[in-house]
Every structure is written in C-alpha cells, then in structure tokens.
C-alpha cells in the first residue's frame, strides 16, 4: 500500500511539473545582462530578446545589472528562483575569467547555473584612440616598450575577459600598461573614444562601430583567422602570441534547479529564433559567429574555458588589484 502511494505521489509530481512547463511562460521573462548598456553582451541580448519572446509567447525584457566585471549580476542571478522567469546572459567574464581570478566569488559557474545555449562567439580586439602615436601592431608594441608605465588600458571590469587577455598579452609581449576597470564595455568604450584612456581590449561587436567611423584604430584581433571586416589587422597568432587568440562567447543561462522541461523549452525557442535569417544577420553584422549549440555542449565549453583561465591566472601569477 505504501509503495503504491509513493508511486502515485511521484506520478502526480511528474504530471504537475510537466503541466507547469507547458504553462510556462505565463508572464514576461527577464533576461539579465551583467554589464552596463552598450557593450557586446547587451547588444546580443537585445537582438535576441524580441525573437526569443515571440517564440516563447511572452515578452523577454532585458535587465542590466552592472558591477565587478559581471560578478554583481551573476551573483544575484545565482540566487534567482529556478522557475524560468529569470534568465541570464553567460559570458567568458562571468563564467570563466572572473571565477578563475577572484577567490571571493560566491557562485560556482559549473554548479550554480544551467547552460542553455551559446548564442554566438565573438572576436576581441585591441584598439587605440587616434591620438595614440602608433597605428599598427609593431609600432604599438615599440611605443609601449619605449614608455613603460606611461599608458593605461580600459576593460569592462576587473577579472573580465578583456582584463585577463590584456594581462596575458602584457606578459607574453613584455610590455606594461596600467589597468583601468569600468562597470561594462559601454562606459569603457566611451572613455576610450573620448581620449580619457588611450587603449582598450574589447569585444569586436561593441568596438567595431567606433573603428568603422575612425574613432578607434584597431591594432590586433583575437580570432581564428583575419576578419573580413578588418582584413589588414593581424590576429594574435599572426604576431606570434597564439595563447591570447581566444574568442568570447555569449549564451543563455538558467539558475540551478530549473526544471529540464523549461530549459528545453527555452533552448527550443532560442534555436527557432536563431534559425531566422534576419536575426542571424543582425548578430553576424556585429562581427559575431552564430554557435547555437546544445545545453550539454555549452556546459562543456564553459568548463573548458574556466580551466584555461585558471591556468592563465596560475602561470602569470595574476591577482585582483
């Protein structure tokens, strides 16, 4: 008798969970961006929000929660209710670079989040203000070596991918620049374009409009091969620094404990949204590459990237400022 009651309760729980997932979403869904508006994470999120909401049948509202190179937002998201009504953008900064360098982070990117899909991968670029004395890679490095400590660089935050990649570049190239962290790529770009900081290491989608209008000068890119948008700009592999040649990713996360049916529903909606040629074009026009992988594949990608940056931090003896 007891066994029959247990089985009945289990069946009811399964049915209620399935019914909940079928009803989801019954109200708007928030999509958290852990950076200020204007950066690549924000751009990709806003491109995806409308088509994702269309496929889910409810509005998807982008919410910016900046600070700590993405840590403030990611920490808050790790405590979100696992009901599918709060999703978040996953970045290398929040799931790999920052956790690798910051021992005080209270979340574990491998256990506190559920990976849904990597939407897109993007190249990164070192760019300078037009007033900088050099306009190409050789001259850039020569200028830094001639004037150690004279120049500073902007990033989207301490522990963010731009910070760790620049520190790795500094170590391998034998140069020195002072790090100026911001609350996101948007503010960092604004100050670099204004000439308040001469150098930035940023994701291509947010930097490219300024490069195209001559407000920033590209020096070197982190990409598998030279980019059609910047055919004359070398990759880090071209200049002999292949370890720095890593791309960023922008994906979707759910809090741990989110029912699998909801995760699958969001994944399916994202795949349909990314199958739309208009949506793909908007993302690809930023210089990004569509990935659209499975939850399992994205989980492995996050795990691998975290391992890489842990090795970088250990090898280069990097610490928070």
Confidence (pTM): 0.79
User: For residue 258, how many other CB atoms are within 10 A of its CB?
Assistant: 22
Distances (CA, A) of 2 to 7, 12, 220: 9, 15, 68
- Which part of the chain is CATH 3.40.190.10? 124-244
The fold for domain 124-244 equals D-Maltodextrin-Binding Protein; domain 2 (3.40.190)
Strand 86-91 and strand 248-255: the pairing is antiparallel
What is residue 308's predicted lDDT score, i.e. its pLDDT? 85
- In the chain (321 residues long), the average pLDDT of successive 10-residue segments reads 50 50 90 92 95 98 92 96 98 93 93 98 95 98 96 90 89 93 90 98 91 97 90 96 90 98 98 97 87 97 92 79 62
Distances (CA, A) of 194 to 7, 132, 163, 288: 66, 12, 20, 25
Q: Where are the strands (E) in 92-206, listed by range?
A: 113-122, 124-128, 152-155, 178-181, 199-203
**Beta carbons within 8 Å of 164's beta carbon, 6+ residues apart:** 97, 100, 101, 309, 312, 313, 318
Q: CATH 3.40.190.150 region(s) of the chain?
A: 27-121+247-316
Check residue 18 and give its pLDDT: 52
27-121+247-316: what fold? Answer: D-Maltodextrin-Binding Protein; domain 2 (3.40.190)
Task: Give which of 73, 65, 67, 66 is closest to 113, Cα–Cα.
Answer: 73
Candidates 320, 36, 44; CA nearest to 190 is 36
β pairing state of 248-255 and 152-155: unpaired
- The residue count of the chain comes to 321
User: What distances in angstroms separate CA 114 from CA 89, 258, 274, one per listed residue?
Assistant: 11, 8, 20
Cβ proximity of 320 and 159 under 8 Å: yes
Number of helices and strands in the chain (H, E): 12, 11
């Amino acid at each position: 008798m007891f066994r029959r009651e247990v089985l009945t309760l289990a069946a009811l729980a399964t049915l209620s969970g399935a019914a909940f997932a079928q009803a989801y979403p019954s109200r708007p869904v928030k999509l958290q961006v852990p950076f200020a508006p204007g950066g690549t994470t924000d751009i990709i999120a806003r491109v995806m929000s409308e088509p994702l909401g269309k496929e889910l049948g409810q509005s998807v509202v982008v919410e910016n929660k900046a600070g700590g190179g993405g840590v403030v937002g990611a920490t808050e998201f790790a405590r979100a209710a696992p009901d599918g009504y709060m999703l978040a953008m996953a970045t290398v900064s929040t799931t790999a670079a920052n956790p690798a360098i910051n021992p005080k982070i209270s979340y574990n990117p491998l256990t506190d989040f559920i990976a849904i899909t990597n939407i897109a991968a993007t190249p990164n670029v070192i760019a300078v203000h037009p007033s900088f004395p050099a306009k190409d890679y050789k001259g850039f490095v020569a200028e830094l070596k001639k004037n150690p400590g004279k120049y500073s660089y902007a990033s989207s935050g301490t522990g963010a991918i731009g910070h760790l990649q620049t520190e790795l570049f500094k170590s391998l190239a034998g140069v020195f620049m002072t790090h100026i962290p911001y609350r996101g790529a948007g503010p960092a770009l604004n100050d670099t374009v204004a000439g308040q900081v001469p150098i930035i290491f940023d994701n291509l989608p947010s930097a490219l409009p300024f490069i195209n209008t001559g407000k920033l000068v590209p020096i070197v890119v982190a990409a598998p091969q030279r980019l059609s948008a910047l055919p004359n700009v070398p990759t880090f592999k071209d200049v002999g620094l292949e370890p720095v040649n890593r791309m960023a990713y922008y994906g979707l996360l759910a809090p741990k404990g989110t029912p699998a049916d909801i995760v699958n529903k969001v994944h399916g909606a994202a795949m349909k949204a990314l199958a739309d040629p208009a949506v793909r074009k908007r993302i690809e026009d930023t210089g990004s590459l569509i990935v659209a992988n499975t939850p399992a594949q994205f989980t492995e990608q996050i795990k691998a990237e975290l391992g890489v940056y842990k090795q970088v931090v250990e090898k280069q003896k990097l610490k928070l400022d």
